[in-house]
Chain A
Amino acid sequence: MHWRLFATLAETAGDTEVEVDVDAGATVGDAFDALLETYPALEDEVLDEDGDLYEHVRLLHEGRDPFSEEDGFETVLEDGDELALFPPVSGG
């Protein structure tokens, strides 16, 4: 599964684009776990003390917010989907 990382998260991981291996029928949660396994340093930046995604960290699945528009971490991925993880946006 293809991940895009931005700003501080890309710097922490040392990569802006990452492929992670997940099985067919995997969910957003599976791909997220695989990402953190590949880059353990990301954990401190994206997870709070309870192991939940920080509110300020955004995760997008194919440009959509899976938590408000889909089934959150349970959202099932299609082959070739793109996931993205980034800190608060700061344009302008």
Chain B
Amino acid sequence: MQVLGIVGPSDSGKTTLVERLAERLSGDGRVATVKHLKTEPTVDTEGKDTARHRAAGAAVTFGITDDAGWFATGADRSLDETLDEVAADADYALVEGYSASPLPTVALGGRDHAGETVATAPEADAVDLDEVVAAVDALEPYESLGSLVAEVKASPDARYAGAIATFTGRVRTQEDADDEPTEHLEFEKYDGVAEERLATIRSELEARDGVHEVRMHHRTGVVEAGEDIVFVVVLAGHRREAFETVEDGIDRLKDEVPLFKKEVTVDDAFWSHERPE
């Protein structure tokens, strides 16, 4: 899934730009949109059955029709978990208004933002849509465990597969209760060479008997404590080769792919290779 943030002051036409991009991109794939709201959602107004469910303490409420769409409301939801979830079946996600999130971003009206700049313009009408669409397609895709599992399930070989094994590496906060907590990790990658190594590992593992698909993805930049770092997903005929291959996949990734981890704790920052685990 390709993710694009759109930020800007309230009169700069963020929503207009999201509309134009959504119309344009929905010809190429499924588009998800996310909007940062500053006030309580008004989709589900007081007195409706679903509002009564919510008021009674439901953490998540769905309103689903047979053929006229659906909506959901809920108590807690972060942008990250939302992107992880929609990545399973969307090709694009347009995210309006999260200027503090490190997403590739189109910034209108000079708005500051935490992510890489895809384009800047004074307002929506000044944005070159062709350029933005080309830049979005060239971005590194956003992957989650769900998106990789969905991808292997769509394999033409899925009919011969009785097993999916997955590995998720995440940021461990502490080794034990006395350990100084890790705040985040920062991963640096040798662009180009890392992808080549991953492609080699993938094709060698996929050449094994009974292994149909292998997907590996490693996030880079800052990954906060508790968040996911790396995924390995294997689609195989049977569980044995699925388990073996997922283990070999993560072991080889850690040994062979030029990625470098810096750990940042409350008081300290150090490169992982200088402190063997």
Contacts and interface: CB of A to CB of B under 8 A. Distances in A.
Contacts of B230: 91-92
B222 interface: no
The range of chain A's interface size is 10 to 19
Contacts of A90: 254, 259-261, 271-273
In this complex, which of B193, B260, B271 has the most chain A Cβ atoms within 10 angstroms of its Cβ? Answer: B260
Interface in A37-55: none
A36 interface: no
A66 interface: no
A6 B271 CA distance: 11
A7 B190 contact: no
Contacts of B250: 92
Contact of A87 (B187, B196, B218, B273): B273
B37 to A, nearest CB: 36
Contacts, number: 65
A17 to B, nearest CB: 11
A87 B260 contact: yes
Contacts of B273: 7-8, 56, 87-90
A92 to B, nearest CB: 4
Interface in A44-92: 56, 58, 60, 63, 84, 86-92
B29 interface: no
Which 5 pairs show the lowest CB-CB distances between chains A and B?
A91-B259, A7-B260, A90-B272, A88-B273, A90-B261
27 contacts: A4-B190, A6-B258, A6-B260, A7-B188, A7-B262, A7-B273, A8-B271, A63-B193, A84-B190, A84-B193, A86-B260, A87-B274, A89-B255, A89-B256, A89-B258, A89-B260, A89-B273, A90-B259, A90-B261, A90-B271, A90-B272, A91-B218, A91-B253, A91-B254, A92-B218, A92-B250, A92-B253
